[in-house]
Amino acid sequence: MNGGPRREAGEAWAFRARVEREAARRFERLGAAISAFDPGSPVPALLERAAEDERRHAALCAELCVAYGQPVDDGVADEPIAPASLGPRAAVLYEMVAACCLTETESVATLATLLSEEAEPRVREVLHEIARDEVVHSRMGWAHLAREAAAHDVSFLSAWIPSMLSGTVDEGLFTRGEPEPDAEALLRHGVLPRSRKREIFVRTLEEVVLPGLESFGVGAGPARAWLAQQSS
Amino acid sequence: MLFKKLFRLLVLGGAMVGTASGCAGASQTLAGAEKTPEGRDGGASPDGGTAKAQDADGGTADAGGGVTGW
């Protein structure tokens, strides 16, 4: 593979390497925070292990990034994302829901879709290794939400889900663009075409994330309105 | 089919992990049962009742963000 598709694949893996490094930092911070108010929770231990997973994933993604001829950006950002008005415990819940219930759940769906397609052998190995861990990373969010929902009213999250979603999707996801001639080639290198990515994102939201949130008392109305607005 | 499987694997599986040690059972949590009158922090809402998300125009009065992924 040469030219544009090669560069696009390299950039996608570079982006993923950065996402994984940032997740490692976030998980370490959240694990320490949860231990302070819920010492009986199994989630901090999972977060600690997940941080190690993410560093390993970052190295795998960086390897592919380099293989496709793109430079690896070693920068790492870890900025808390919860609204300033939330108390410390609610802020942790906000971030766990955003990072794990939404983003990691969407990542599992993306990885499962990529693994259902033909891929280059090394790409497939990397996808497989990452997918196995991301299942646990998504579960950490649902586990924490379950514990918090058993102790508190967590319905305040409902109004914040659109903010989380806006910060998750890239600007062009809902833009109806031109057909993607390199889509088939990119799939072999672990990159979903935009239209497919949008379909997976929306279906995962509608059939996994939002019903999941509702089952814990977090209303999905604002999120459904956000989705309708993006899709119109 | 993929999505039903993901719901079971992630949402239900996660709830089981979270509630297996020292908290309400998963069935109680998932049923949306009444919350305990006194939570572990004394029954206070974890946001202290201060959170405001969207104003009437749909704009954020107090911005929160999201996490980018794959």
The SS3 assignment for B63 reads coil
Residues A218 and A152: beta-carbon distance below 8 Å: no
Q: What distance, in Å, lies between the first and last C-alpha atoms of chain B? A: 21
Q: Rounded to whole angstroms, how far apart are CA atoms B65 and A99?
A: 10
Best mean pLDDT range from A76-90, A148-162, A177-191 = A148-162
What is the rounded distance in angstroms from the CA atom of residue A204 to the CA atom of residue A109?
7
Q: Does A41 touch chain B (CB under 8 A)?
A: yes
* Whether A107 and B22 lie within 8 Å, measured CB to CB: no
Asked if pLDDT for residue B61 goes beyond 80, the answer is: no
Dig out the tokens for A15 from the structure.
């982006």
With an 8 Å Cβ cutoff, is A50 touching chain B? Answer: no
Q: Average pLDDT of chain A?
A: 94
Spatial CA neighbour of A129 closest among A200, A26, A60: A60
Q: How far apart are CA B24 and CA B28, in angstroms?
A: 6
In this complex, the residue of B17, B52, B63 whose CB is nearest that of residue A42 is: B17
A54 touches chain B (CB under 8 A): no
Task: Report the pLDDT value the prediction gives residue B58, as an integer from 0 to 100.
Answer: 45
Closest CA in chain A for residue B16:
A143
The answer to whether the CB atoms of A141 and B68 lie below 8 A apart is no
Give the confidence band of A177 by pLDDT, cuts at 50, 70, 90: confident
Mean pLDDT of A143-165: 97
DSSP B33: P
Distance CA A107, CA A104 (A): 5
Per-residue pLDDT of A107-142, as tens digits, reads: 999 999 999 999 999 999 999 999 999 999 999 999
Residue of B nearest to A135 (CA): B10
Reported ipTM: the value is: 0.92
CB contact under 8 A, B67 and A168: yes
Name the closest residue on chain A to residue B50, using Cα atoms.
A85
| Per-residue pLDDT, A211 | 98
- Whole-model pTM over 0.80: yes
B15-39 confidence digits (pLDDT tens) = 999 998 655 444 445 544 445 433 3
Position A175 confidence tier, pLDDT thresholds 50, 70, 90: confident
Average pLDDT rounded to a whole number, residues A29-44? 97
Contacts of B38 (CB under 8 A, 6+ apart): none
